[in-house]
Structure 1
Amino acid sequence: MVEYTSAPGDVEMGLEEKMVVLVEKKSSTEWIWKMFGALLLVALCFGGVLLFAWHWNGPETTTQPGQAEALIEEDSAEKTDLHYTLRRISSNAKAAIHLEGSYDEEDESSKDELEWKNGQGQAFAQGGFQLVDNQIVIPQTGLYFVYSQASFRASCSDGNGEGAGKRLTPLSHRIWRYSDSIGSKASLMSAVRSACQTPAPEDSHRDGQGWYNTIYLGAVFQLNKGDKLWTETNQLSELETDEGKTFFGVFAL
């Protein structure tokens, strides 16, 4: 009868083989869990991106054909507006004000100056700007773009006609500034233009016609909180105050 014996080395080899098998099973399990965790993380990230995109863009809305045409017409009308560019700039500005000029020579209660109006026509104020005593009050210290335009319709004639004396009187428009740091008013911008360079057509004054002139002022200034800005204009009776012709404004940069 043949007997089998196990040497110590065989026993050790058997143990090592068993240990190898156990290590392989453990490594395989960890790899599966790692893959599962990575896939779960990718799914969560993708879902987060979709949720952020939906929240940013908002839910999609459908528009009926009639509504689409109305929106297109409204957008086209806005872009043809005379003050579209100004509104687009001011919408991104920290603070802005835009005023429309008004002057009624026949109104006895009207002061002998160009009156600025807020809240009518294209006029508006935002970001802390105020119109006080016909002056713009600066809300905060910083850089500002200041602008103004005065439109005139000068009636000119030769000889002793009704508009003869106006040929010698120039048109002027000026922006003043008062600052507590200065302690007195100072001229911010000004311009002068000849009213009548050549005689107007015969009977132009009687027919309500005349020579048209426009003075535009605009520049960037460092202004302080509480500074006051106002205008001074001559030849008020020759001013054109229809909407969009004479205005005054400031916006922060």
Structure 2
Amino acid sequence: MEGDCSRVSVDMESGPVYPSTTVTLVREKPTQTHRWRLCGALLAMALCVSAALFITWHAKKQDHVEESDELQHTLRQLSGNRKAAIHLEGEYNDSGKYKNTVEWTDKVGQGFSQGGLKLDNNEIVIPQPGLYFVYNQASFHVSCKADPKHPNDQEMVHLSNTVKRWSPSYGSEDNKKYQTLLNSVRTVCKKSSNSEAASEGKWYNAVYVGAVFRLESGDRLQTVIEERLLPHLGSGDGKNFFGVFAL
């Protein structure tokens, strides 16, 4: 008995005794259904990745196209902002080609043309409607000495400069009637036969005109100088000029 009690006492101290349990993991062999599910999952993932890549590429391409379009728009704006302008220089041509005006050119000196304004048949042609500044100068070299044959002739020396306009709204091109746009008349001196006037020789004078006008497409501008004054026109760069620029 003592031996049994002693044995029971040991068992109580060590706690309850449970039967040992062994867990065995069994790997299930993949079936055909499992394989199809796995393939489907991988295919879906591949499609998602491809879609994401395509969307990213398309977005970048679209951004590039928009940037390109914006650049083209900016370039067109810069090109469109090139103001229409023309500046002509001229001299009297005694060949008789033009009997009441200077012969103009945009090929010498400071002459140029841009933005659609052009020189045609010695006239400036307006390309499109808008506000334009029109200007013109004619330089003269005249004498205030009276003609010895007419000593009592007290004629005043007048200089004039005119810019005229023709517009399609005026009527037929077959019979063009020009209207005065700018005009200036200047009295230079009074002819005299005394020695003081004779010693003064010839006088240099420039007649300038300029103003802003609303012009229409197809309008034509020309200059007019009295025939008697043409031989007295000065020559050289910057003395006679005619121009227009858009505002």
User: TM tier, shorter chain?
Assistant: 0.5 to 0.7
Is 2:214 the counterpart of 1:222?
Answer: yes
1:135 corresponding residue in structure 2: 123
Closer, same or farther: CA 162–151 of 1 in aligned 2, 3 Å: farther
Is 2:169 the counterpart of 1:181?
Answer: yes
For 1:220, what is the secondary structure of its paired residue?
Answer: strand
Gaps of 5+ in 1: 1-91
Instruction: Write the deviation string for residues 51-87 of structure 1: whole angstroms up to 9, x where unpaired.
Output: xxxxxxxxxxxxxxxxxxxxxxxxxxxxxxxxxxxxx
TM-score w.r.t. structure 1 length?
0.56
Is 2:195 the counterpart of 1:202?
Answer: no
Residue 104 of structure 1, CA deviation = 3.5
1:252 corresponding residue in structure 2: 246
CA distance in 1, matches of 2:122, 2:88: 10
**What root-mean-square deviation, in Å, do the aligned CA atoms of Structure 1 and Structure 2 show?**
2.5
Identity within the alignment, %: 46
Residue 159 of structure 1, CA deviation = 5.0
CA distance in 2, matches of 1:121, 1:163: 42
Larger-Rg structure: 2
How many aligned positions are there? 156
Contact 1:157 1:167 survives alignment (8 Å): no
Closer, same or farther: CA 163–111 of 1 in aligned 2, 3 Å: farther
2:140 corresponding residue in structure 1: 152
Q: For 2:230, give the aligned amino acid.
A: L
Contact 2:139 2:205 survives alignment (8 Å): yes
Residue 132 of structure 1, CA deviation = 0.7
CA distance in 1, matches of 2:153, 2:84: 43
Instruction: Write the deviation string for residues 139-185 of structure 1: whole angstroms up to 9, x where unpaired.
Output: 11000000001111111213526999794452111000001123342
Closer, same or farther: CA 251–166 of 1 in aligned 2, 3 Å: farther
CA distance in 1, matches of 2:147, 2:104: 36
CA distance in 1, matches of 2:127, 2:154: 40
Residue 114 of structure 1, CA deviation = 1.3
Correspondences of 1:46-65 after superposition (within 5 Å):
none
Contact 1:154 1:196 survives alignment (8 Å): no
Contact 2:144 2:157 survives alignment (8 Å): no
2:105 corresponding residue in structure 1: 117
TM-score w.r.t. structure 2 length?
0.57
CA distance in 2, matches of 1:171, 1:163: 22
Instruction: Write the deviation string for residues 207-242 of structure 1: whole angstroms up to 9, x where unpaired.
Output: xx4112111101000000110000001200111121
Contact 2:154 2:190 survives alignment (8 Å): no
Gaps of 5+ in 2: 1-80, 172-176
Closer, same or farther: CA 248–154 of 1 in aligned 2, 3 Å: same
1:34 corresponding residue in structure 2: none
